Structures are given as structure tokens and as C-alpha cells.
Amino acid sequence: MALETLSEHRCFGGVQGFYRHASTEIALPMKFGVFVPPQAANGPVPVLFFLAGLTCTEETFAIKAGAQRVAAELGLMIVTPDTSPRDTGIEGASAAWDFGHGAGFYLDATEAPWSKHFRMESWITQELRSLVLSQFPARGDRVGLFGHSMGGHGALTLALRHPELYQSVSAFAPIAAPTQCPWGEKAFTGYLGADRSNWAAHDATALIKAGSKLPALLIDQGLADNFLAAQLHPHLFEAACEQAGQPLMLRRHAGYDHGYYFIASFIEDHLRHHAQALR
């Protein structure tokens, strides 16, 4: 797979880079970021994939989360994929901030015209994973997945759907029951069609209820998050985990909103959670 380097920057003894490749799954060029910690000079290191939220790009987490300092200490590589295909030529793909460009929802669309390019699940779990493992000093047996909001939904559902690929999981303010919120209903109708029976396979709460399992899980949620009541529904996921015996640490934080100040405040806890699980 040909890899194009867009930029590389020395960072806490490692390198924060941004890259592009011609994706076979997406049938378009796709961008992603990689932070390579200094320990990688001595051999492959554990790798975390961070899935960002609505409107974000491959740069958002790398610039705003402040993760590189602790990742460099712990010897963790961090991969930050873009959140959707870009420049698809699909009519209306840029008309809304919560659907289309910047809003891929980490699934493979089945409905035209989205099904041609919006194959985010296959890109993340297969093509991008293989590319990273072949082009960077990453350990394929030590892979973690985490994300925020739409990306928290992606982290939970992809880990539940592909448990053999991920040894650690966490999330910030995930869309935890997308079949029961406006964001999810809009995205799933567009990408998967009106038949709601096809939606449950991409809903973390439904997957837990159906018997899927995750490694011990950390979720952080701000209580001043203006999307909490209408969109996120962590209480539904929490109840499903309790019923299913799924280990879950769900931490609720007074005063914190949905943005990257919240993520930056607790990113160290998440990186240490992954580092312990991936040792």
C-alpha cells in the first residue's frame, strides 16, 4: 500500500505525522495521523486507534487532546483516522454537519449512493489496520480502540463486532444507544435504510444485550454535556452492561461539557487504562 507523508513533527521525543493513502475500501484517498512514541526506536509498540466525533478530522485529536506527552511516557502509538470519506461527489454529502462528510459513523453503508464510498468499518478494522501494522512499528497483538461521541459509538461497536482485533477499549461521551437518538436515527436511515431491524448490529447497547462482550471498559461522561439527555444515553448502555455482567467503569463528571477540554482533562486516565490492558 503506497503511503504519502503529508507532514511530520518532532513531539515529546517521538513523531506526530499525518499521512494519506489511496483506499481500496473507500475507493478514494483517506487521511490519518500517527503518533510514534520514542520507544518505537527499539521495536514495535502497542497501538491505539482513536475515533473522533462529528465534524472532526484526522488532526482534531492530535492537536486538541494533549495525548502525546503521556503516550510518549507509556510507549503507546496513537492512530487518528479521518471521520469519513471526503470529496465524494455525492449530492448533499456536505449539507448537514451530522450526516455525510465528517459523519461516517464507522459503519459500512448499504444504501445508495453512500454504499460506494462510506465503508468506514472495513477501512478501520481491515485496510487501515493492515497499513499501520505494515508501515509503522506497531504490535498487532496489542491493539486498543477508543473514541469520542460518534467515535465513542464507533469504538464500542467495532470492538463488540470484532473482539478478536482489540485488547482494550474506552470511550468519551459515546453515542451509546444510536437506535434511540436523533443522530443515530438520521445516520442509520441514510446509511442502512429504513428497516430498523438492520440497525441493532451497530448499536452498542443492543449488541451488549445480544451477548457480545468487551474487555473491562472505561467510559467518561460530562454532566454539563448539552447532548447528554437527547443523544448519548449512557444510562441505557450502563443498564445493559449490568444485566449482561459486562465490566464497566462509567464515570460522570459534574461541570464538564462535550468538547476537547473535557477530553484533555481525562485523556491520561484513558491512556493508562489502555497501557495496563496492553502490557
Report the catalytic residues: 149, 225, 258
Longest dimension (CA), the chain: 51
Cell 449512557 sits at which residue? 234
Q: Is 49 helix (H, G, I), strand (E, B) or coil?
A: strand
Residue 31 to residue 114: CA distance in whole angstroms: 19
Report, in angstroms and rounded to the nearest whole number, the Rg of the chain calculated over CA atoms.
Answer: 17
Beta strands in 52-110 (DSSP E): 77-81
Q: Which of 148, 142, 171, 172 is nearest to 48 (CA)?
A: 142
Q: How many CA atoms lie within 13 A of 273 on its CB side?
A: 20
